[in-house]
Amino acid sequence: MTTSPGIKAKHTPLVKVIRLLSWSALAVLALSPFVLGGHAEELLDDVPSLTAGEPPPPDPALEIPPLPPEAPVTAPLVTPPPVAVAPPPVAVAPPPVVATPVAPPAPAPPAAAAPTAAAKDTLPLIEAKTYNVVVLRHSRSGKIYLFDKKAEELPNVGRILLLKNGIEPIMAFRVMMSKSEKTQFAAKRVRLYKLEALPDNASYLAVEKIADYIPPPPTAQDQADLKELERPLSVQPPVAPPAAANPAPLPNANPALTAVAPPIAVAPAPQPSALPVEIPVAAAAKPPGPRVSPVIGPVAGAVDTTKQDLKANLEPGDEEQAKVNPEDESDPEAGQEIVDEDFNPNEHNKNWLTAQMGAFRNYQDVPKTRLLAGGGFRYGYDVAHTLYFKTSGKHDSLTLEGGLFLYKMVGYFNAGDAFTVLPLIGTARYNLFFGSSFGVFFYAGLMRNFILSQVNANDNQLAAIDSIIPAVGTGVIYEFGPHWNARFDLGYDTISAGVMIRF
């Protein structure tokens, strides 16, 4: 007889018990002749009656011995049910095992808090301001750009500006010069992002970091680029040179290929998306022919990124032809205000603070004067700029200045007299700068001497010292560091030298 593995496994204990009882019964029957002796035959004769359901004979001696083997037969038959009931608890146990995997999601909240802390570290608080700027033009080297900012306040020299188009950074600049009257400033390129050159008349969002920064002094190339902005006819170099410098490629290629070539040379894929509005407007403002060369111009300016001189790529006659190009259709007024008026780097630094030591003049009742050693401070404020000179070689300003000094007079009239004098000087100073680091000035005003204390002096002596003296003279200024200048005054009222800071 064959059974399935499941049924066999379920009844295996019961079968074993039945087999054990069967072998036990056979063993008892086999040993009964030896135990019962002469009564074995009678017992064997009574077996059929027992199987037939008849009661055994009432013999007390034969009734007791069979009971021990019957007890194991009936008892094991009752015990198997608990064995069959035991497996259900095993089936109930798995639910806790299934419930335990639900616990792991609990640690998820701490993991979500980690990005908040990391984001806080990577996003420090930076004080900055934003405004829109428009690209007017750039130098032929492509390093210095001229921008227009339609706002009252211009960025200070040395500030870093990041130009963005939407959320994408385009180019970073350092401010070098500014022109408050024209709301224009010049800045040097310090880092490239998406573009190698910015097109004219393009508008960008400028992000200016508010921080104290001392810029490095301009290099010789920077000075040359700034001077290039003041030449009236240098606005056109990006237009004419490509036509004269590359005469051979133009006959070999049709105009369509020539117009497509510049974007291939520029190569940045994001360029069309970075300026979706400005480039079509500029192209529509001029005929297709002249607009091909301005695109090539920025590409040539990009040669600067490989540290090559742009002039090495131009033929000798290209510059002169660019200067006299009569076909340029750019706005003459916009170019003229850039060219004729240069930018004073200290124009926005209108405050002057000077510490001086020197000799100061005072009268005596005899026809001679004395110069007395003393020291003090001056403060000046610029009230006007570019009065007569507006080029990079020369620019001027007018400053109102007041000074407070102190000196001691001992034995001035007599051997025993002493005076403590406080001169107060007020002047108007005209400054004329040659370049960005050297200048001369002329001043005129009055010096009023006040006596703070005196010893052994009469009224006439006090009246002679407590006097008003004309303050007229000249001097020189030399810039030896960012915002720091050396100053020397030579005048009727004083001969002094000191250090001056502009801010």
DSSP string, 201-253: T-EEEEEEE-----PPPP-HHHHHHHHHTT-GGGG-TTTSHHHHH-TTHHHHS
The structural domains of the chain, ordered by start, are 5-92 (no CATH), 129-230 (2.40.10), 234-331 (no CATH), 351-502 (2.40.160.20)
What is residue 263's predicted lDDT score, i.e. its pLDDT? 53
| E strand residue ranges, 322-417 | 351-362, 370-390, 394-410
What is residue 289's predicted lDDT score, i.e. its pLDDT? 45
What is residue 85's predicted lDDT score, i.e. its pLDDT? 46
Q: Would you give the DSSP letter of residue 23?
A: H
Reading the block at residue 225, the tokens are 């680029």
Please calculate the CA angle 196-228-434 and round it to the nearest 5 degrees.
130
| E strand residue ranges, 111-253 | 128-138, 144-148, 160-165, 168-179, 184-192, 203-209
Strands 484-491 and 438-455: unpaired
- In one letter, which amino acid is 325? N
What is residue 456's predicted lDDT score, i.e. its pLDDT? 85
What is residue 56's predicted lDDT score, i.e. its pLDDT? 55
**Which is it for the CA torsion 225, 231, 235, 238, positive or negative?**
negative
What is residue 326's predicted lDDT score, i.e. its pLDDT? 39
Contact residues for 362 (Cβ-Cβ < 8 A; gap 6+): 369, 370, 372, 409, 421, 449, 465, 467, 469
Q: Would you give the DSSP letter of residue 344?
A: B
What is residue 310's predicted lDDT score, i.e. its pLDDT? 38
Reading the block at residue 83, the tokens are 């064995």
The answer to whether residues 361 and 469 touch, using CB atoms and an 8 Å cutoff, is yes
Q: Give, for all 503 residues of the chain, the pLDDT tens digit.
A: 444 444 444 557 777 888 888 888 887 777 765 555 555 455 445 544 444 445 555 555 545 555 545 444 444 444 444 444 444 444 444 444 444 444 455 555 444 445 454 444 555 555 678 888 999 888 888 889 988 886 667 788 888 888 898 888 989 998 888 776 677 888 998 888 878 888 888 889 888 876 545 666 778 788 778 777 766 544 445 544 545 445 555 555 455 555 555 555 555 555 544 444 444 444 444 444 444 434 334 444 444 443 444 344 344 444 443 343 433 434 444 444 444 444 455 567 889 999 999 999 887 555 556 788 999 999 999 999 888 887 767 888 999 999 999 998 888 777 888 889 999 999 999 999 998 789 999 999 999 999 888 888 888 888 888 888 899 999 999 999 888 999 999 999 999 999 999 98
CA distance 132 to 108: 45
For residue 433, give Cα distances in angstroms to 218, 227, 437, 439.
17, 15, 8, 4
Q: Is 17 helix (H, G, I), strand (E, B) or coil?
A: helix
pTM of the predicted model as reported, rounded to 2 decimal places: 0.38
For residue 300, give Cα distances in angstroms to 138, 215, 266, 310.
12, 28, 9, 7
Reading the block at residue 317, the tokens are 């006659």
CA distance 386 to 377: 27
Reading the block at residue 461, the tokens are 């002596």
What is residue 91's predicted lDDT score, i.e. its pLDDT? 44
**Which is it for the CA torsion 119, 125, 131, 132, positive or negative?**
negative
Three-state helix/strand/coil letters over 408-471: EEECCCCCCCEEEEEEEEEEEEEEEEECCCEEEEEEEEEEEEEEEEEECCCHHHHHHHCCEEEE
CA distance 216 to 159: 11
What is residue 487's predicted lDDT score, i.e. its pLDDT? 96
How remote is the C-alpha of 163 from its chain's centroid? 12
